[in-house]
A and B are shown apart, each in its own frame.
Chain A
Amino acid sequence: RYYEYMFGHSRRRTRGRRPLAARAEPQLFQLQVVIEAGDPGCDRHPQLTSSEAYHLTVTEPVAILKAYEVWGALRGLETFSQLVHEDDYGSFLVNESEINDFPRFAHRGVLLDTSRHYLPLKSILTNLDAMAFNKFNVLHWHIVDDQSFPYQSIYFPELSDKGAYSSNLIYTPTDVQLVIEYARLRGIRVIPEFDTPGHTQSWGKGQKDLLTPCYNGGQPTGSFGPVNPVWNTTYDFMTKFFKEISSVFPDEFIHLGGDEVDFSCWKSNPEVKEFMKKKGFGTDYAKLESYYVQNIVDIVSSYNKGQMVWQEVFDHKAQLKPDTVVQVWMANNYAHELSSVTGAGFTTILSAPWYLDYISYGQDWKKYYSVEPLNFPGSEEQKKLVIGGEACLWGEFVDATNLTPRLWPRASAVGERLWSSSNVTNLQDAYKRLTNHRCRML
């Protein structure tokens, strides 16, 4: 595909003709790609610990792209394709170059939300292409939420039957595998998020007795709240459900969500209140939330998957596994949160300043570019725990009609911030390169 990217889209109309005499310029005939590891990884999935470093030497007659693993080769190929340019006569040129490159952060992600609005497969795949152009390596697939449940589950088909917007606005197992493989070929991990116990209204449509019935004055109101943490059946369901998810999604991590749990429904429910008493949680519903989350963590761990969670899970003091990744998303004083999370020894990724769904007039890419993730009070060891970040495109006002122009090239600013060295901060220089890059992506 890189051949097509470099040579397939010649836009130049020949304005003049170069003399046909033998060229005096040096010619590049070949790009040799060398992968040094015994097991290059071509048949495997990329991981957090994958090597993405590469060494590119462009000189006549043969250029060499060397990388330890295939993932580095992909990054190098992207860079090489950016170096190739076309002159006014339609000749392709590349400058003699020596590049030694590797990412600053290992987790460089984009979050897509396919629940607030369904995103057709094509949209997701186009986005994976754009991510590869920007060396992103994680697709955080926020696949279900309150509004709709498009994930077609094998064990629980009713979830999407009843919970999707409609029968054709779903992701079949084939669709899911297609996304995972398309991503893999671009060195992109797919981390699914099945957000619970909040953000689960759509789950209740296809799974009776999963959500908490809300009460008013001793009577059920007919509406439901978060997942019910006191019933055994909840955990039976989750055990089976996450068994499926663990086998469908090959990445080592699953995102469990855990954000914005509204306690009012729990508080209204007599069974839940009874349970709180029994457990000695008093009136601290954060403890109930933590109790729930800890159970899910145990379930998911038993399937040998690592977990990612939104910051509230940490803030509410749930007991987490040491390798849990905490995603910091709340914009208010996120530097302080980064200190707390890393101070407690957890790895973390930053999203708070990169909510790209919050559009505004003008060149807002500059503020995304100017974020310095390690600008928080903390020791060297703490700073090492920041493994990266994610640009989030929540879907309340986004669907296939506006996703691409809304996300790109603004996300490119985040991509560079996460890959490049911390001293690459010059906005004027970035502007020049970003405008070129945008045209190239188009």
Chain B
Amino acid sequence: AENEPSWETPCSELLVYVSTPGCDGFPSLDSKESYKLSVSKGSMLLSAETIWGALRGLETFSQLVGRDENGTYYINETEIVDFPRFPHRGLLLDTSRHYLPLRAILETLDVMAYNKFNVFHWHIVDDPSFPYESSTFPELSKQGAFNAMTHVYTASDVRTVIEHARLRGIRVIVEFDTPGHTLSWGPGAPGLLTPCYVGKDPSGVYGPINPIVNSTYQFVTSLFKEVSAVFPDFFLHLGGDEVDFTCWKSNPEIRAFMKEMGFGEDYKKLESFYIQRLLHIVSSLGKGYIVWQEVFDNDVKLRPDTIIHVWKENSMQYVSEMANVTRAGYRALLSAPWYLNRISYGQDWIAAYKVEPLSFAGSPEQKALVIGGEACMWGEYVDVTNLTPRLW
């Protein structure tokens, strides 16, 4: 009959050729994800430099396969040369505001792979809860998790996530956000957080991590030593956002320290003091780091290879922030226009799609410092009952 597709000999095999082996390794920021896909009569070839590129090509291939009304699988003759524009394409999940069971995280990793995301930014602990089971400091989750039996991530859980991600070419970058966002650390680490004062007396309430006592830095060193070993990626996210200075200001010992150090009334200098020591600790553990933009905004002295995570959004202020960060020579990650937790009615995917990460005033060298971005799904109103339809 006319107009019937002329079916060729069925293709039965997709040949996958990877030039540089590395199936046992972990993906990194420098991993090459390019691939070539060639589909023609009786021959289907997917070739890539690395296994990570092969994974991307496999996803593309799977999307090209169609099925007709008779149930026959078919694929169009195709020639594809593909590679990512940005090397860091991430998704943030928040497992502190609400605990997410392992299956929710693994399912999210699956969908990330369908969308060629390659970084899982695990915002694992925060003020409301501390679900990370630390081998060095087991009391942290015992006292800080919503439920130390049911709402924790054991070492095995963490390994499962890392491996599940690795098999999909996804890096796991964990974030232990300090010195703010640490209320849940307090119960399991007495003396870590700053006691707030009302007048001359402690109010019973605690604030950010106490930056003036040595015990803090001993604790931080030990914790990050463990975290560095548990999480294989070169990068750690150290947080550093939204540090509220009121508690520090209220504490007489801290005020004395400020005087002693000649910081005056500029608490950003105190924050800077803490962060710099933290960065030094993490560097000496052989890790690189990502920090939220406040760390840059507050003039903390940073190493040149620091990655700044731009998140603040208020009338497109992030555009100038991207310019500032890159002008100062730092690499930048963009999240500000991609806070997917901020739901709204209608097809809001359009606004997210229209974002052009490089639309800021800057030189080509500056623009080259933008390594990518992350969609963020903060957990204040998200748990396993609504995560998937909210995110995808």
When distances are taken between beta carbons in the complex, the residues of chain B under 8 Å from A360 are: 343-345
Name B385's contact: one of A13, A362, A397, A442 (CB within 8 Å). Answer: A442
With CB as the reference atom, state the residue of chain B lying closest to A403.
B389
Contact in complex: A359, B345 (CB < 8 Å): yes
With CB as the reference atom, state the residue of chain A lying closest to B147.
A13
Main secondary structure of the interface of A (DSSP, over half): loop
Contact in complex: B381, A405 (CB < 8 Å): no
When distances are taken between beta carbons in the complex, the residues of chain A under 8 Å from B343 are: 359-361
Residue A402 at the B interface, CB < 8 A?
A: yes
Contact in complex: B344, A359 (CB < 8 Å): yes
Name A358's contact: one of B150, B345, B381 (CB within 8 Å). Answer: B345
Contact in complex: A397, B345 (CB < 8 Å): yes
Residue A333 at the B interface, CB < 8 A?
A: no
When distances are taken between beta carbons in the complex, the residues of chain A under 8 Å from B381 are: 361-363
Over the window 401-420 of chain A, the binary record of Cβ atoms lying under 8 Å from chain B Cβ atoms (1 yes, 0 no) is 11011100000000000000
When distances are taken between beta carbons in the complex, the residues of chain A under 8 Å from B149 are: 13
When distances are taken between beta carbons in the complex, the residues of chain B under 8 Å from A362 are: 381
Contact in complex: B342, A405 (CB < 8 Å): no
How distant is the Cα of A13 from the Cα of B149 in the complex, in angstroms? 9
Over the window 249-291 of chain A, the binary record of Cβ atoms lying under 8 Å from chain B Cβ atoms (1 yes, 0 no) is 0000000000000000000000000000000000000000000
Residue A158 at the B interface, CB < 8 A?
A: no
Contact in complex: A405, B385 (CB < 8 Å): yes
Over the window 21-56 of chain A, the binary record of Cβ atoms lying under 8 Å from chain B Cβ atoms (1 yes, 0 no) is 000000000000000000000000000000000000
Residue A357 at the B interface, CB < 8 A?
A: yes
Q: Which of B128-165 contact A (CB under 8 A)?
A: 149-150
When distances are taken between beta carbons in the complex, the residues of chain B under 8 Å from A358 are: 345
Q: Which of A287-323 contact B (CB under 8 A)?
A: none
Residue B3 at the A interface, CB < 8 A?
A: no
Q: Which of A358-374 contact B (CB under 8 A)?
A: 358-363
Contact in complex: B344, A357 (CB < 8 Å): no
How distant is the Cα of A381 from the Cα of B124 in the complex, in angstroms? 58
How distant is the Cα of A404 from the Cα of B343 in the complex, in angstroms? 16
How distant is the Cα of A402 from the Cα of B381 in the complex, in angstroms? 15
State the Cβ distance, A407 to closest chain B Cβ, in Å.
11
When distances are taken between beta carbons in the complex, the residues of chain B under 8 Å from A442 are: 385
When distances are taken between beta carbons in the complex, the residues of chain B under 8 Å from A404 are: 385
Residue B386 at the A interface, CB < 8 A?
A: yes
When distances are taken between beta carbons in the complex, the residues of chain A under 8 Å from B388 are: 401
When distances are taken between beta carbons in the complex, the residues of chain B under 8 Å from A361 are: 341-344, 381
When distances are taken between beta carbons in the complex, the residues of chain A under 8 Å from B150 are: 13
How distant is the Cα of A359 from the Cα of B346 in the complex, in angstroms? 9
State the Cβ distance, A167 to closest chain B Cβ, in Å.
12
When distances are taken between beta carbons in the complex, the residues of chain A under 8 Å from B385 are: 404-405, 442
When distances are taken between beta carbons in the complex, the residues of chain B under 8 Å from A402 are: 386, 389-390
Name B346's contact: one of A13, A363, A397, A406 (CB within 8 Å). Answer: A397
How distant is the Cα of A397 from the Cα of B347 in the complex, in angstroms? 8
Over the window 337-359 of chain B, the binary record of Cβ atoms lying under 8 Å from chain A Cβ atoms (1 yes, 0 no) is 00001111111000000000000
Q: Provide a sorted-by-A list of 19 A–B residue pairs whose CB atoms are within 8 angstroms.
A: A357-B345, A359-B343, A359-B344, A361-B342, A361-B343, A361-B381, A363-B381, A397-B345, A397-B346, A397-B347, A401-B388, A401-B389, A402-B386, A404-B385, A405-B385, A405-B386, A405-B389, A405-B390, A406-B389
Q: Which residues of B contact A (CB under 8 A)?
A: 149-150, 341-347, 381, 385-386, 388-390
Q: Contacts A359-B345, A402-B390, A405-B390 known; list 17 others, CB within 8 Å.
A: A13-B149, A358-B345, A360-B344, A360-B345, A361-B341, A361-B342, A361-B344, A361-B381, A363-B381, A397-B346, A397-B347, A401-B389, A405-B385, A405-B386, A405-B389, A406-B386, A406-B389
Q: Which 3 A-B pairs have the closest CB atoms?
A: A402-B389, A405-B386, A361-B342
